[in-house]
Structure 1
Amino acid sequence: MNAFDTQYALSNKADEGPRSRIAFIQACWHQDIVDQCKTAFLETMQSQDYALDDIDFYEVPGVFEIPLHVKMLAQSGKYAGIVAAGLIVNGGIYRHDFVSTAVINGLMQVQLETGTPVFSAVLTPHNFHSSEEHVTFFRDHFVVKGVEVAKACVQTVNKIASLATA
C-alpha cells in the first residue's frame, strides 16, 4: 500500500461507529465479463476493511436500467456510495454512444441531486467483438476497473464523511 492509499484507508472499524454501506449494481449483458469487475471490487473493498455484509448487490437487465435503480437506492439514504458496472457494446442496431451518454449523464445527475456519490465502471469500447481476444482483453480490463472503482469509492466516501464532521 502506498502513501496515497494509506492516507485514504478506511477508518470505520467496529469500535468507531456504524460502517458505511455500499451498493453495487451490475448489468447482466456480458455478465461473464462484468463479473470480473465485481470480483476485483470485492477483493479491494475487503482489503480496505469492508466486509461482504457492508455491500449490497443488485442486478439489472442492461445498462440502460442502471440510472433509475441507482436513483432509487440513493434516495433511500441507506448508502454512502453506489457503484455501477456494465459493458455497452455496439450491436449494430443502435448507436451505443447514445446509450453510454444517457447512462453516464443519468449517473451524474443522480449524485448531484441526491448528494450520494455514484461511481461508474460502465465501459463503452469503440469496437467490441465476441472473439476470444476481445473477451479476454475486456475480462482483464474489468479486473483493473474493479480495483480502481473500489479505491475511488473508499476515498470519496471517506472524504465526504470528513466534510460532514468538519
Structure 2
Amino acid sequence: MSVAEQQKIALIQSMWHHDIVDQARLGFTAEIVKLGHDESRLDFFQVAGAFELPLHVARLARTGRYEAIVAAGLIVNGGIYRHEFVSSAVIDGLMRAQLDLNVPVFSVVLTPHNFHDSVEHEQFFHDHFVKKGAEAARACTATLESLRNIES
C-alpha cells in the first residue's frame, strides 16, 4: 500500500500564540508532502489552548480515521506554577492517548521556561515551530513505516 493510500493524519493545534504555533502546521505540511504524503489526506483542527489537546487527540484517535495525530502548542511560563502543571498534564495526556488508543501521537508542544513577548523571542519561536513541524513530519513518516513493518 503506498503512502498516499493510507488513512488520514490529523494535526491539531492550540490557538494561544496562534501566529507562532501555526508555523508547526506549515512546516509539517511542507515536509510531509515532500515525503510523499498526499495533502488531501491531512486534516487540521484547532483548540483553545494546549490543555485541550489531549482530549481532542483522544477523540480523534477513537474515530479510527487517523493513522497518526500531531499535536502542536506553546505553553509559556508566565511566572506562575501553572506552566509546569499544564506542561506535565498535556505531555502526559498525549502519551496516554497514544498508548491507550494505539494511534501514534507526535508532540510539537513546546514548553519554554523563558518566553517573552518580544520581537526576538517571537521570531525565534516562529522559526523554531517550522523546524519542529518538519521534524514531526519525518518522525511521523518513519514511525508509520516502522509500525507497518511490524504488522506485516
Match of 2:79 among 87, 92, 100: 92
TM-score by length of 2: 0.95
Match of 1:41 among 16, 21, 28: 28
Runs of 4 or more above 2 Å deviation: 91-95
1:103-114 to 2 correspondences below 5 Å = 103-114=90-101
Identify if the C-alpha distance between structure 1 residues 97 and 162 changes in structure 2 by more than 3 Å, giving closer, same or farther: same
Which amino acid is 1:100 matched to? Answer: S
What's the counterpart of residue 118 of structure 1? 105
Identity in percent: 53
5+ residue gaps, structure 1 = 1-10
In 2: Cα distance, 1:44 partner to 1:20 partner: 18
The Cα shift of 1:158 comes to 1.1
The Cα shift of 1:45 comes to 0.6
1:125-164 to 2 correspondences below 5 Å = 125-164=112-151
- Give me the CA root mean square deviation: 1.3
1:23-34 to 2 correspondences below 5 Å = 23-34=10-21
Structure 2 residue 54 is matched with structure 1 residue 67: yes
Which amino acid is 1:160 matched to? Answer: L
Which amino acid is 1:48 matched to? Answer: L
TM-score by length of 1: 0.87
The Cα shift of 1:20 comes to 2.9
5+ residue gaps, structure 2 = none
What's the counterpart of residue 2 of structure 2? 12
Identify if the C-alpha distance between structure 1 residues 109 and 71 changes in structure 2 by more than 3 Å, giving closer, same or farther: same
Number of residue pairs the alignment of both structures matches: 152
Which amino acid is 1:143 matched to? Answer: V
SS across alignment from 1:57: strand
The Cα shift of 1:95 comes to 2.3
1:72-83 to 2 correspondences below 5 Å = 72-83=59-70
What's the counterpart of residue 52 of structure 1? 39
In 2: Cα distance, 1:97 partner to 1:53 partner: 36
In 2: Cα distance, 1:27 partner to 1:13 partner: 27
What's the counterpart of residue 3 of structure 1? none
